[in-house]
Amino acid sequence: AQKITQTQPGMFVQEKEAVTLDCTYDTSDQSYGLFWYKQPSSGEMIFLIYQGSYDEQNATEGRYSLNFQKARKSANLVISASQLGDSAMYFCAMRGGSGNTGKLIFGQGTTLQVKP
Amino acid sequence: DTGVSQNPRHKITKRGQNVTFRCDPISEHNRLYWYRQTLGQGPEFLTYFQNEAQLEKSRLLSDRFSAERPKGSFSTLEIQRTEQGDSAMYLCASSPAGGYGNTIYFGEGSWLTVV
């Protein structure tokens, strides 16, 4: 079975500073994808960044980067130069590659608050 | 280019009533998913369609829940005889068919409150 664990229920960061949100995962699949989504209070799940299990380089998308450590089964999200608009809930999710439906399995989420 | 659209966005209903939510996926996406999310929790998978075929249902989807995707385009999720425990946000998502690298895009969700 696949599992995602996010151990930080809440995080604070000062505006313009960097923050790391932790994510560990468990799977028996050899091929899988790891995703991060942002959910503001409005409710929409916004896709941020993707890392494939065979990708050798860490993914980056603008201010977002994913620190992928395959041996440790971790996929931490790094947000650089935090902005007030980054305040939201963040979810780590995994999608297996073993011919299944491709559904996402989510962690419990981390609430990030950016302080001015 | 429109994203995933869900309606209604909010629904308040009395216990025992039936409710139906609609989802319009991104037009070229043939995979469609329904998730349920309660406050402070991550989304939980409910069911999955590939085109019009419902290929997987979670154990969370009791017999009071039914989902359809009649022509492989929009989908509906109906909850019969609602209970207070059904209060949650119902998220619809879509993606192209293919490997695990294809991104799943979500709608804004439909909030259900059962009173």
3-state secondary structure of A35: strand
Q: What is the pLDDT of residue A100?
A: 60
Q: Are A3 and A106 in contact (CB under 8 A)?
A: no
Asked if A91 has any chain B CB less than 8 Å from its own CB, the reply is: yes
Alpha-carbon dihedral angle through residues B75, B46, B13, B3, given to the nearest 10 degrees: -40
| pLDDT over 90 (residue B13) | yes
CA distance A112 to B107: 22
Q: 């022509």: which residue's tokens? A: B71
| Contacting residues of B for A52, CB less than 8 Å apart | 100-101
E strand or H helix that includes residue A79: strand A74-79
| pLDDT over 60 (residue A99) | no
**Quick one: average pLDDT of B67-84?**
95
Confidence of residue A75 (pLDDT cuts 50, 70, 90): very high
Cβ neighbours, 10 Å, residue A103: 23
pLDDT in tens, B14-53: 999 999 999 999 998 999 999 999 998 999 999 999 999 9
Contact B48 A103 (CB under 8 A): yes
Confidence of residue A98 (pLDDT cuts 50, 70, 90): low
CA distance A45 to A53: 22
DSSP code per residue over chain B: ----EEE-SEEEE-TT--EEEEEE--TT--EEEEEEE-TTS--EEEEEEETTEEEEE-TTS-TTEEEE-TTSS-EEEEE-S--GGG-EEEEEEEE-SSSTTSPPEE---EEEEE-
pLDDT in tens, A30-53: 889 999 999 999 888 999 999 999
Asked if B56 has any chain A CB less than 8 Å from its own CB, the reply is: yes
Q: What is the pLDDT of residue A29?
A: 85
Contact A44 B55 (CB under 8 A): no
Least confident of A52-56, A88-92, A100-104, B11-15: A100-104
